[in-house]
Structure 1
């Protein structure tokens, strides 16, 4: 028989979001990333600060940059929501809360951006999309960048179940074409994933810039209302 005493503390968490209203106000396109990381953890080589430069300050940088870009453009056809989620690393609590604030039928697509600070295996101007075959969003993006230096391709790490491991998963379970765009090779020997060495010095800022431009270009047919991605089949999502 073991007796133990636990003390629980309640903490307030916050998502950070902004919107550019579109002409079709109830058709919403979401650009997202998570701004939290692991904080202070087990020291490795004397370093206990888990900064999260790639995971996911790189994605948060993309969301801010995309918001600035689209703000400079004419009013979009669809409303654009830019959100930085809290508590992704704790279980996606920020995106879960966010999904409860909208009717999922009004969300046309979600571009969730994760770990774009390290080049993809297919080259510096390419990114992979998780759950590529679950909606037509990936194909729309790839068609939009044809003729450019950029390339979007299916997630090459299906064994990692990345579709379910980021903030896109909550909305995808509700039928939204919600996918994560990433570049970092997710192999067992990834040297900086969830380690203190995930610092600014280990990310490629030029690569981040390329991928932000690629996402802006790839998202344009959806933002403009020219194309609407097919919905995710909720019955096929765990």
Structure 2
């Protein structure tokens, strides 16, 4: 069952975080010089990354505590913790689906990818970049994931999100090439086309297809069988 706002107990950590937020909201920013603005922005970014690392620990500890307590109360282990994502979603002001996704990433960081988690704690990567790593390695066994973690850690400092994603996918292929090929084949089997409405009485057509297909369509200019030729009206003068 989810919780209401009144159910959350105060704690020294929560009070300290609330005081920090209050101090930030009341800070006088108008008198800062440009170099002071840059320094403040740097510290805010590092604080955000530190907060993301603390959030990882809190999410995992909360989940483990809830599961253990419910099992002690007689709940089947397979059902224990079923409401954890709802509780996390409520306090984090997000959807249960996103809360579950981020909890999965947090558990991977804390139990299977400690070097990547250390990089987050030290502010060398952001919370989003850490999730890029965990989601790119979700297909691996625990042993292979640890191998990627070990080999990736020295490469993280200074890398962009795009570079981190590419590095991680490359390592995933190196440690499990057969699995990489199997997953590519399964992805091709999941191809499909979807359509959704957009403003101005239009529709957006999306295709999930193997990469060569849309590239070929774009190069050859192939149209759908009943697609009319594009008409170009007069441009506004």
Query: Is the shorter-chain TM-score for this pair beyond 0.5, marking a shared fold?
Result: no
Higher strand share: 1
Which structure's relative contact order is higher, taking Cα pairs within 8 Å and 6+ residues apart?
Answer: 1
**TM-score, normalised by the number of residues in structure 2:** 0.22
**TM-score, normalised by the number of residues in structure 1:** 0.22
Say which one has the larger Rg: 2
Higher helix share: 2
